[in-house]
């Protein structure tokens, strides 16, 4: 339990407070469900999530670890949404892995998804054994978010940083064959 608390302290401190841009203005994204209660979250432990981090099916995967309480994460979400929309027909799959707390799924995460009209695939990682799964995601990951993995069949890069849209597209384009 102490390790879990330590991870939370690291995540909170690593996710510095920045001014958050409004996501509502993004005209590209549309959500089909208008009510947060209608959203069915896919909740995984790490063993269930791990196959998503290692697919070999010819696609480019962009896996972003984020949380609603992380200002830099929220700030960059529109860029992942734009990437999802613009690159969906060229074999790029965007997955947003929420690290929100289980008690807040209904009160914060689902309303956030609805309010900001997120269309990318969203999964929730609910696994308290972070000391085990963080180094499995990347051996150099400190646990800070936002963090992103971009990979394809032959190449993989881990980023422990925030992106703007130009930077994100530049990195993803390196993986498109």
Region at 91 (left for phi over 0; alpha for psi -120 to 50; beta for the rest): left
* 19 Cβ contact partners less than 8 Å away, ≥ 6 residues apart: 71, 75
Region at 143 (left for phi over 0; alpha for psi -120 to 50; beta for the rest): left
The reply to whether the predicted model has a pTM over 0.75 is yes
Rounded Cα distance between 129 and 120, Å, is 26
Q: How high is the pLDDT of residue 122?
A: 96
- Based on the number of CB atoms within 10 Å of its own CB, is 12 exposed (0-12), middle (13-18) or buried (19 or more)? middle
Rounded Cα distance between 163 and 165, Å, is 6
Phi then psi for residue 160, to 5 deg, are -105, 75
Averages of pLDDT over each 10 residues, the chain, 177 residues: 43 44 36 57 94 95 97 97 95 96 94 94 94 95 97 96 97 93
Based on its alpha-carbon atoms, the radius of gyration of the chain, rounded to whole angstroms, reads 15
Q: How high is the pLDDT of residue 15?
A: 56
Spell out where 56-110 has E strands: 60-66, 92-98
Rounded Cα distance between 50 and 57, Å, is 15
Instruction: Please name each of the domains of the chain with its CATH number.
Output: 2-173 (3.40.30.10)
Q: What angle do CA 94, 98, 104 make, to 5 degrees?
A: 145
Q: How high is the pLDDT of residue 177?
A: 72
């Amino acid at each position: 339990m102490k390790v879990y608390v330590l991870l939370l302290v690291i995540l909170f401190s690593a996710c510095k407070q920045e001014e958050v841009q409004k996501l509502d203005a993004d005209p590209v994204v549309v959500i089909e469900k208008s009510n947060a209660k209608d959203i069915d979250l896919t909740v995984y432990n790490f063993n269930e999530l791990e196959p998503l981090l290692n697919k070999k099916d010819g696609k480019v995967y962009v896996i972003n670890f984020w949380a609603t309480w992380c200002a830099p994460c929220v700030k960059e979400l529109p860029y992942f949404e734009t990437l999802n929309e613009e690159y969906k027909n060229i074999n790029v799959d965007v997955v947003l892995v929420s690290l929100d707390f289980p008690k807040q799924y209904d009160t914060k995460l689902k309303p956030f998804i609805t309010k900001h009209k997120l269309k990318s695939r969203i999964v929730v990682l609910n696994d308290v054994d972070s000391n085990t799964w963080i180094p499995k995601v990347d051996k150099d990951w400190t646990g800070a978010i936002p963090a992103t993995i971009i990979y394809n069949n032959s190449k993989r890069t881990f980023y422990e940083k925030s992106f703007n849209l130009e930077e994100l597209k530049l990195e993803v384009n390196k993986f498109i064959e």
